[in-house]
């Protein structure tokens, strides 16, 4: 059987004699490695410093996290320069683990990390696709693989951010399909690491257990970054940053009221650091708006529209235990 269907057979007379040696055109030869690389030029081209400076401005505290991100950026920059001068520069493993309590900046840092990786040419787009177990794991046989592959398809070229990743592994349930999603992730993280960076995120103790139970994942995650909790002063700084961005100010006495709010709120369940600060500011804005609206008429100054008063904060339910019950006074006619 011939496989030359549709191909013109070349007559022997047209066949050129094959030369014994092939001469390589000088223009086609690989250029010799250069002797030096310009770090300043690469910094100007990629503008990575701008992203790192934004990280410093937009995130309060978190010094260990910022230091680690700068170290990773430096490694990638130097690898790029090594490649320019002909030195070995294999693509490093860029998969990461972000551990810490809710509201400590993990998602924000993931977004900045995507910008850095994109500007340095390690991912095609500055994009983060966030997901949880529900996006990856199916509820019946044959459901998990297509769900996981669809999320991976959307994340290709960028960063896949898996929040509360430890929920993928449920050893107490033999019929759970999370292990199937983990196996697919393992394959992709190794075979297609030039197309995708995976960041696992969650509480530190649970993430430690997760990686101990899945050593294959742990060996593929090169960077483990822990996000510390914020203290009260840092939370106050976060509040001022958020208020400034929205053109609000804390009026006389409101600074002390908000600090007192945080001191109480931090001890209550489900405290989420920066996220809880944002929510409390939103509720204070709501009370301020209702207070101003209740006036029904009159001209409001720019200062009044910007100012959060102590009452806007002290009306929060976290102060309820400090207030005397309204029914403490004896009823009329009682002896």
Q: What is the pLDDT of residues 82-96, one digit of tens each?
A: 988 989 878 888 999
CA distance 87 to 110: 30
**Res. 22: pLDDT tops 60:** no
Q: What is the pLDDT of residues 193-225, one digit of tens each?
A: 899 999 999 999 999 999 999 999 999 999 999
pLDDT for residue 25: 54
The share of the chain scoring above pLDDT 90, in percent, equals 75
pLDDT for residue 114: 97
């Amino acid at each position: 059987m011939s496989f030359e269907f549709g191909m013109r057979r070349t007559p022997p007379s047209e066949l050129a004699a094959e030369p014994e040696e092939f001469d390589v055109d000088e223009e086609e030869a690989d250029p010799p490695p250069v002797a030096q690389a310009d770090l300043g030029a690469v910094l100007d081209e990629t503008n990575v410093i701008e992203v790192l400076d934004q990280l410093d401005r937009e995130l309060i505290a978190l010094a260990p996290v910022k230091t680690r991100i700068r170290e990773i950026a430096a490694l990638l920059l130097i690898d790029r320069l090594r490649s320019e001068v002909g030195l070995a520069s294999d693509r490093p493993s860029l998969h990461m683990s972000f551990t810490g309590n809710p509201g400590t900046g993990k998602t924000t840092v993931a977004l900045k990390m995507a910008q850095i990786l994109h500007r340095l040419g390690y991912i095609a787009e500055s994009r983060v696709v966030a997901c949880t177990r529900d996006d990856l794991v199916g509820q019946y046989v044959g459901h998990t693989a297509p769900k996981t592959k669809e999320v991976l398809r959307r994340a290709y070229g960028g960063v896949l951010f898996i929040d509360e990743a430890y929920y993928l592994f449920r050893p107490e349930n033999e019929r759970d399909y999370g292990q199937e999603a983990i196996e697919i992730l393992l394959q992709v993280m190794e075979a297609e690491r030039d197309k995708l960076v995976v960041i696992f995120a969650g509480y530190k103790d649970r993430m430690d257990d997760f990686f101990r139970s899945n050593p294959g994942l742990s060996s593929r995650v090169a960077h483990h970054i822990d996000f510390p909790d914020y203290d009260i002063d840092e939370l106050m700084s976060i509040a001022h940053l958020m208020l400034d961005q929205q053109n609000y100010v804390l009026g006389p006495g409101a600074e002390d009221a908000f600090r007192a709010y945080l001191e109480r709120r931090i001890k209550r369940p489900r405290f989420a650091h920066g996220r809880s600060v944002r929510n409390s500011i939103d509720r204070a804005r709501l009370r301020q708006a209702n207070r101003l609206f209740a006036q029904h008429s009159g001209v409001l100054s720019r200062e009044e529209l910007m100012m959060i008063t102590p009452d806007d904060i002290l009306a929060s339910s976290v102060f309820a235990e400090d207030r005397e019950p309204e029914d403490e006074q004896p009823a009329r006619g009682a002896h």
